[in-house]
Amino acid sequence: RLWRKTRSKTIIPLCYGADPNRNWDYKWCEGGASHDPCSDTYCGSKAFSEVETLQVS
């Protein structure tokens, strides 16, 4: 399986990271994104919550 998420910790111990493609501030957590930390399309706890997204922006 290919890994699409970051490796940051979430509120659920065995579910890691957020999808960096859905972690931007523009239309954050809309259009197919999920609020579930275990989902492959998890958008993160807030926009730009992931270091990887901040570094690219």
* Total of domains in the chain: 1
Residue 52: predicted pLDDT: 96
Residue listed under structure tokens 């931007």: 24
CA nearest to 50, candidates 29, 21, 30, 12: 21
For residue 1, pLDDT beyond 80: no
What is the band of 2 on the pLDDT scale with cuts at 50, 70, 90? confident
Boundaries of domain holding 45:
1-57
Which residues, in sequence order, are bridge partners of residue 4?
Answer: none
Q: What is the pLDDT of residues 21-45, one digit of tens each?
A: 999 999 999 999 999 999 999 999 9
pTM for the model? 0.89
Give me the percent of the chain exceeding a pLDDT of 90.
Answer: 95
CA nearest to 35, candidates 43, 24, 23, 27: 43
